[in-house]
Amino acid sequence: MALYEGVQPLDVVGPHDVLAGATELFDATGRGGGYAVTLVAERPGPVRGAGGLGLVADGALPESGPIGTLLVPGGPGSRRFGAESGYVRWLRRAVPRADRVVSVCTGAFALAAAGLLDGLSATTHWRYAPVLAARHPAVDVRSDPIYLRQGRIWTAAGVTAGIDLALALVEADHGVDVAQDIARELVVFLRRPGGQSQFAGPVWDTPARQPSVRAAQDLIHADPTADLRVPVLAARVGMSERHFSREFTRALGTPPGDYVERVRVDTARRLLESEQLLVSVAAARAGFGTAETMRRAFLRRVGVAPDHYRRHFAAVPS
């Protein structure tokens, strides 16, 4: 984890605790393995983070040797890096030695300044996505996803999304069961797929172990507005409709249509809580065909109509 003055501490501490949790789990079960995490900076010692919280670098930015995962955290300092800053020049030298490169939040600015995101899709905190896009037009900046993977380069959205991304790294390395155990220990959402919107309401659901059902889950969470009828989902994951419905229900305890409606209701709830929207607009953005369809779904699942929910739970008066 490569630190710098003005780093966002949570971008470091969140992923660090996920990786440390994996290591503790392996140690406790006698399986061995885990992660050896090193904090590095221009020089060893204290590094002043955003808000005044200090972190301690174990060593200097390494100039030789292999790197498994190179993590670039965000923070106000990263947005000030120019193409020829010392940190960015080091990144260019270090990236060829890394198996994968990860940025959290505005750490994407450092990767972009190094030219490492040119021609790729990347995400960052939604507030700074327009700035990143204007400053680096060769990067396809996506403001919506929680995290994106482009080959060996991963980028994550703001702050707590670094935890989601770290859990995804652990899952890629060690499987879903390990990632789930760590998420439970940290009391975080068991699953927020990378394609899920930064603004979508997360659903507390255990990811299915069957790859086909898991793929269907990811499709549902990634875009609740898509055509998510059973025939479409079954075709997308390469199964017959009957077999897909049976396996999905067996794996998750609920039929596909019921699951889709629940995800859409959660998405609509978050929209109504955070934005001043007409119910019809929220319905469209959450994937419901009409406001009336959403109203019926709300009455079934929330017990109140959407306009009633908005009046009581909106962050700003509607």
243 is catalytic: no
Burial 301-311 (b: 16+ CB within 10 A, else e): ebeebbbebbe
Tens-digit pLDDT profile for residues 163-198? 888 988 998 898 877 887 887 777 665 445 554 445
User: Which structural domain range is residue 106 located in?
Assistant: 9-173
Is 146 in the same domain as 99? yes
Considering the chain, what percentage of its residues have pLDDT values greater than 90? 61
The neighbouring-strand residues paired with 47 are: 55
Residue of 194 and 102 predicted with greater confidence: 102
pLDDT at 300: 87
Is 218 in the same domain as 273? yes
Tens-digit pLDDT profile for residues 131-154? 999 999 999 998 777 888 889 999
**Residue 206 CB contacts under 8 Å (≥ 6 apart), including other chains:** 180, 190, 191, 252
Q: Is the pLDDT of residue 156 over 60?
A: yes
Is residue 62, in this structure, part of any structural domain at all?
Answer: yes
Residues 6, 52: Cα–Cα separation, whole Å:
8
Is residue 19, in this structure, part of any structural domain at all?
Answer: yes
pLDDT at 275: 81
Give me the catalytic one of 105, 108, 228, 263.
Answer: 105
The CATH number of whichever domain residue 46 belongs to comes to: 3.40.50.880
| Residue that is last in its domain, among 122, 156, 173 | 173
The structure's pTM equals: 0.65
Is 16 in the same domain as 160? yes
Residue in this structure with the two tokens 């060829």, named with its chain if needed: 96
Amino acid at site 191: R
Establish how many alpha carbons lie within 13 A of residue 38's alpha carbon, considering only the half-sphere containing its beta carbon: 12
Average pLDDT, the chain: 88
Least-confidence region, from 56-65, 175-184, 273-282: 175-184
Is residue 3, in this structure, part of any structural domain at all?
Answer: no
Residues 154, 103: Cα–Cα separation, whole Å:
6
